[in-house]
Chain A
Amino acid sequence: MNKNDALLAYALRLGDNALILGQRMVELVAAYPELEEELANANFALDYIGQARMFYAYAGELEGKGRDEDDLALLRDENEYRNLLLIEQPNGHFGDSIAKLVLFEAFYLRQLEELVHCADKRIAEIAARAEKEIRYHLRHNTQWLIRLGDGTEESHARAQEAVDNLWRFTGEMFAADEVDNVFENEFDGPDLYRIREQWRETVAAVLEEATLAMPEDAWMASGGKAGRHSEHLGYMIAEMQYLQRAHPGASW
């Protein structure tokens, strides 16, 4: 894989992660039990959609085929998305959503911190902006996981179950493939091995404070980075793309 292909693939992955997670959070808009958390969730979702736009706009330029951010977001098929499997998992209950966000954002924040210093200027600029947003998200969501884990008997049990259920999707974040390796070597990109060590430290500290047990690493699901998704992504994309598919080019 050459340098340019890896850069394009890497930018798309970042965009796909941001878009699909943002869309998951959009599903929860108007579903929160508290107005303030409702606002926070919608803000966070918009942060992700905004990040997706920046990564997609850049990916479109790199590709050079005239596709813009909307084309990339709304006119690709399921197997063309390269987001992590963790991200597309259903929202479940509040504890599931929070656990998913903490597990992902503890990784994403480290990834962005590394990308700020990478050799590609545009990726570094977008990362610098996204990093501030995600730092706050992680802070907020971490506090929630601690509250739930160290809360009532029921919230503790449900938070533990959420972490246990999602654990098998965490391995994919650190499983470097060709795109990761070429990006790391050619653009001074993130070292996933080192990020994994930092991630484990962060997550272990949060789980400990939340009085939750850290699951054992066992079989890990993977495939999202290569376009092989769980059954959940297709439904999401169908809903997300409905308008553009039914009324191509619709705008207001």
Chain B
Amino acid sequence: MSNKEWPLYEVFIRSKSGLSHRHAGSIHAADDQMALDHARDTYTRRSEGVSIWVVRSSQIVASDPAESAAFFEPAEDKIYRHPTFYEIPEGVENL
């Protein structure tokens, strides 16, 4: 018997409220179909979702934590990119 680990998949669930898919966690599975089943059995047991995406973790291209300074810090001092300089007209509760 081989003890090879099944590949890891990331699971994304869309909840009923019509929001976008959100990362729920990860599971192991031998193939794509099994990954969907495992995601369903692991993460939607309590009616958490109406749609599931799974993707092999190895297929995700991720940013390098070592480069996070170059990646993210330049945005920190550019407050003019936030739409916070508008005056909100009276009577508008949500914008």
A→B interface (CB under 8 Å): 34-37, 39-40, 43, 136, 139-140, 143, 147
Chain A proximity of B42: nearest CB distance (Å): 6
| Interface range for B | 10 to 19
In the complex, are the beta carbons of B34 and A143 less than 8 A apart? Answer: yes
Tally of A-B Cβ pairs under 8 angstroms: 27
Q: What would 21 A/B residue contacts be, using CB atoms closer than 8 Å?
A: A34-B6, A34-B28, A36-B27, A36-B28, A36-B29, A36-B38, A36-B41, A36-B42, A39-B38, A39-B41, A39-B45, A40-B38, A40-B41, A43-B45, A136-B40, A139-B37, A140-B37, A143-B34, A143-B37, A147-B30, A147-B34
Give bound CA distance, A39 to B42, whole Å: 7
Which residues of A sit under 8 angstroms from B30, Cβ to Cβ? 147
Chain B proximity of A44: nearest CB distance (Å): 9
Give bound CA distance, A147 to B29, whole Å: 12
Q: Which single residue of chain B is at the shortest CB-CB distance from A41? A: B41
Known: A39-B38, A40-B38. 9 other contacts (CB 8 A): A34-B6, A34-B28, A35-B28, A36-B28, A36-B38, A40-B37, A43-B45, A143-B33, A143-B37
Which residues of A sit under 8 angstroms from B45, Cβ to Cβ? 39, 43
Residue interface bits B27-70, CB-to-A below 8 A is 1, else 0: 11110011001101110010000000000000000000000000
Which residues of B sit under 8 angstroms from A34, Cβ to Cβ? 6, 28
Which residues of B sit under 8 angstroms from A35, Cβ to Cβ? 28
Nearest 6 A/B pairs, CB to CB: A36-B38, A40-B41, A39-B41, A36-B27, A140-B37, A39-B42
Which residues of B sit under 8 angstroms from A43, Cβ to Cβ? 41, 45
Give bound CA distance, A147 to B45, whole Å: 25
Which residues of A sit under 8 angstroms from B38, Cβ to Cβ? 36-37, 39-40
Give bound CA distance, A34 to B9, whole Å: 14
Which residues of B sit under 8 angstroms from A147, Cβ to Cβ? 30, 34
Give bound CA distance, A136 to B28, whole Å: 19
Q: Which single residue of chain B is at the shortest CB-CB distance from A147? A: B30
Chain B proximity of A152: nearest CB distance (Å): 9
Give bound CA distance, A136 to B39, whole Å: 13
Give bound CA distance, A35 to B26, whole Å: 12
Which residues of A sit under 8 angstroms from B40, Cβ to Cβ? 136
Chain A proximity of B55: nearest CB distance (Å): 16
Give bound CA distance, A34 to B30, whole Å: 11
Which of A34, A43, A143 lies at the interface centre, i.e. has the most chain B CB atoms within 10 A of its CB?
A: A34
Q: Which single residue of chain A is at the shortest CB-CB distance from B1? A: A154
Chain B proximity of A218: nearest CB distance (Å): 33
Which residues of A sit under 8 angstroms from B37, Cβ to Cβ? 40, 139-140, 143
Which of B30, B40, B41 lies at the interface centre, i.e. has the most chain A CB atoms within 10 A of its CB?
A: B41
Q: Which single residue of chain A is at the shortest CB-CB distance from B5? A: A34
